[in-house]
Amino acid sequence: MRVVVIGAGRMGGIRAEDLAADGRVTELLIANRSSQRAEKLAADLGARSLPWGEVATTDADAYVMALATDAHADLLQTLLRRGVPMLCEKPIALTLRETEHICSLATASGAPLQIGFQRRFDPAIKQAHLAIERGELGTLYDISLTSRDHTPPDRFFLPGSGGIFRDLHVHDLDLIAWLTDSPIETVQATAQIRGEGPYAEFEDFDTTRIVTRTESGVLASICGSRHDARGHDVRLEVFGSKDAISAGINPRTPLHILDDPGVLIDQDPYTGFIDRFRTAFRSETRSFVDLVLGADNPCPPEAATESLRAAIACEIAVRDGGTITVRDVRDE
C-alpha cells in the first residue's frame, strides 16, 4: 500500500510515524511546503520525501491530509476528485459552506473520507461508547465533558484556528452526538476572556460553558479553557438510570484532590493533546489503513459537518444569547 502524508508538522509527524510502523504500508511518501521538514521526517522514518509540486499528480492508494485547517481546502478538493481514500484532520474547513462542498465531492468520488476525531479512539471513551450501545447504563440522563488545554495557544495559531468552538469544542460536540447516537438539537453557550493572551484581537475566548440537548433528549454540558496550570485535561462522565461511568480520570489527570490530601493523581500530568491521546491517534491511523483495505468508515465526513454546525451554533449563542436550534444554522 502506497500512502502519501501531506504535511510534516506535528500532526503529519504523528500520522507518518504510525503509518511507517504499520506493516501493511509498503511505501510512505511525505510532502510539505518546506521541503527540508519533509526530507528530515522521511529520513527519520525510512520513508521518501515528495516534492510539493508533485503532490496533486502523484498516484497513491491513500492520502493523509495533515496541513493546518486554513491551508488544506484547495488541495483537499483536488485530491478528492482522484477517488482515493483519505484521512483528513478536523475540521475539514473553517466554514460550513466549504465543508458541505468538500463532503459532496467526497460522496461523488465514491472513495471514503475519514475525519480525524481521535477522541473516538481513546480506549476509555470507546469503552464508554460500547457500554452505552449495549444498554449497560440504562436510560441516559446526562453527560458532562471537560476540555482544558495545558498551554495557551500563541498568536500565530489563533488566526487560522477558527476559534475555540470550532477548534477545541468541535471534538466535544462530536462526542456527544456519537455517544448518544443522536444529533445535537439545541445549544446554549457563554464565553469569556479570563487569562492572558491575544484572544480579543482575534475575536476569540479562552473560557467557555456549553449546554446541549440531543434530538433524543439527552442533556450534555461542556466546560472548556485554553489554559490549565496543572496539565492537559480532557475527560467525561456519563450518567444513566443503571450506572454512572467516567473516561479520562486516571493517575495522569491534572487534578488536585482535596478530599484526601494523601492522594495525588497528577504526579505525571498530561502535557498536551498529543500526550493525552497518543494511543488514540495510533488506533485511529490503524483504522484508516483498515478503511483503505475495505473496512467501514469509523468517522465519516457527515460527523465533521454536524459538529461544525453545532460549533457555529455555539458562536451564535454567545453573540445573541438564548437557545439556538442547530439544524437551522446554515452558514456564518
pLDDT 10s digits, 172-186 = 999 999 999 999 999
Q: Band of the pLDDT at 264, cuts 50, 70, 90? A: low
Q: What is the pLDDT of residues 191-202, one digit of tens each?
A: 999 999 999 999
The alpha helices in the chain, defined as continuous H runs, are: 10-20, 35-45, 69-80, 96-109, 123-133, 158-161, 164-167, 169-180, 273-292, 301-320
Distance CA 60, CA 5 (A): 10
Q: Determine the residue type at 257.
A: I
167 plus 93 within the same structural domain = no
Q: Which three cell numbers stand for residue 132?
A: 452505552
Nearest to 219 by CA among 131, 321, 144: 144
Q: What is the pLDDT of residues 293-313, one digit of tens each?
A: 999 999 999 999 999 999 999
106 plus 183 within the same structural domain = no
290 plus 321 within the same structural domain = yes
Distance CA 195, CA 183 (A): 33
Q: Is the dihedral of CA 225, 228, 234, 237 positive or negative?
A: negative
Instruction: State the total domains in the chain.
Output: 2
Q: Which three cell numbers stand for residue 208?
A: 467557555
Q: Determine the residue type at 125.
A: I
Rounded to an integer, the average pLDDT of 95-107 is 90
Distance CA 92, CA 88 (A): 7
For the chain, what's the residue count?
A: 332
- Specify which residues 235 forms β-bridges with: 146
Contact yes or no for 329/306 (Cβ under 8 A): no
pLDDT at 256 over 90: no
84 plus 142 within the same structural domain = no
Q: What is the pLDDT of residues 17-69, one digit of tens each?
A: 999 999 999 999 999 998 999 999 999 999 999 999 999 899 999 999 998 77
- Determine whether 46 is exposed, middle or buried from the number of CB atoms within 10 Å of its CB (0-12, 13-18, 19+): exposed
CATH of the domain at 39: 3.40.50.720
Q: Which domain-ending residue is among 118, 133, 159?
A: 118
163 plus 66 within the same structural domain = no
204 plus 303 within the same structural domain = yes
Look at phi and psi of residue 46 and say left if phi exceeds 0, alpha if psi is from -120 to 50, else beta: left
178 plus 305 within the same structural domain = yes
Domain that holds residue 191: 120-328
pLDDT at 263 over 70: no
Contacts of 25 by beta carbon, 8 Å cutoff, 6+ apart: 1, 2, 3, 19, 289
Mean pLDDT of all residues in the chain?
Answer: 94
**Integer CA distances (angstroms), 72 to 67, 90, 143, in order:** 6, 11, 33
107 plus 173 within the same structural domain = no
pLDDT at 261 over 70: no
213 plus 245 within the same structural domain = yes
Question: Which pLDDT score is estimated for 232?
Answer: 97
Contacts of 108 by beta carbon, 8 Å cutoff, 6+ apart: none
Q: Which domain-ending residue is among 118, 135, 164?
A: 118
Distance CA 55, CA 57 (A): 6
Distance CA 234, CA 275 (A): 11
CATH of the domain at 192: 3.30.360.10
pTM of the predicted structure, to 2 decimals: 0.94
**Integer CA distances (angstroms), 163 to 104, 167, 285, in order:** 25, 6, 26
Rounded to an integer, the average pLDDT of 228-246 is 97
267 plus 136 within the same structural domain = yes
Q: Band of the pLDDT at 332, cuts 50, 70, 90? A: low
Contacts of 214 by beta carbon, 8 Å cutoff, 6+ apart: 176, 177, 180, 182, 183, 184, 185, 220
Q: Band of the pLDDT at 262, cuts 50, 70, 90? A: low
106 plus 164 within the same structural domain = no
Q: What is the pLDDT of residues 159-171, one digit of tens each?
A: 888 899 999 999 9
Question: Which pLDDT score is estimated for 266?
Answer: 57
Q: Which domain-ending residue is among 118, 141, 170?
A: 118
Distance CA 285, CA 29 (A): 15
253 plus 310 within the same structural domain = yes
